[in-house]
Amino acid sequence: MTETIDYEGFRACVGLIVSRGDGEVLWARCIRNRGWQFPQGGIEIGETAEEAAYRELHEEVGLGAEEVRILGRTENWLYYRLPQRYQRKNTSPRCVGQKQIWFVVELTAPEDSICLNAVGHPEFDRWRWVDWWHAVGDVIFFKRKVYDRALTELAPWVFPVAPPPRPQHDGQTGRWRAPRSPYRIKKAAPRQESRSRAGRGRATR
């Protein structure tokens, strides 16, 4: 185990909101479970949260430090607890959830710099741009409160005047009615196309 889990069983992680100039954010689909989420990952022993953020950006969406600009981060840890059925029972120390520092970064490079297979163990297979609040209604249920808190705290870094209107809450389903982005989903290119910087599996339209 190279990542840190505290005495309460919470794994230290970073979450990453990648924004482009118009305020839309990158939303990606996990290969393992087909769920959509923001890039995230554990903070390894000896790493700072910022170092982990840059590493995860490269590993999960192929972006280097020179292709993004950090706008802001959450002041404190944001916690979520995994439901019992998602907890791994035979691990030590046992992980019961995550505590996360969230970063919002601006994409300063062309869109085709995003590469989902920059490493040999990709996390995502598709991505798209979505509205700022979209994630709150689309992420798996136990992450919704953390996403809501992270987006609320970090919105002023992207929208200095005022954030976009929050979506309506559906009282029957408990989900936010977040609008879909009009942009097409981007698929990861075959890995053989990502051997060099010049042709590294850019997203297709």
Residue 185 has a pLDDT of 60
pLDDT in tens, 153-173: 999 999 999 999 987 755 444
Residue 4 has a pLDDT of 82
Which CA distances in Å does 3 have to 15, 77, 114, 147, 181? 15, 16, 26, 22, 35
Q: Reply yes or no on whether the pLDDT at 194 is more than 70.
A: no
Q: Reply yes or no on whether the pLDDT at 28 is more than 80.
A: yes
Tell the burial category of 2 from Cβ atoms under 10 Å away from its Cβ (0-12, 13-18, 19+). exposed
Give the CATH fold of the 10-193 domain.
Answer: Nucleoside Triphosphate Pyrophosphohydrolase (3.90.79)
pLDDT in tens, 55-82: 999 999 999 999 999 999 999 999 999 8
- The whole model's pTM is what? 0.81
pLDDT in tens, 104-122: 999 999 999 999 999 999 9
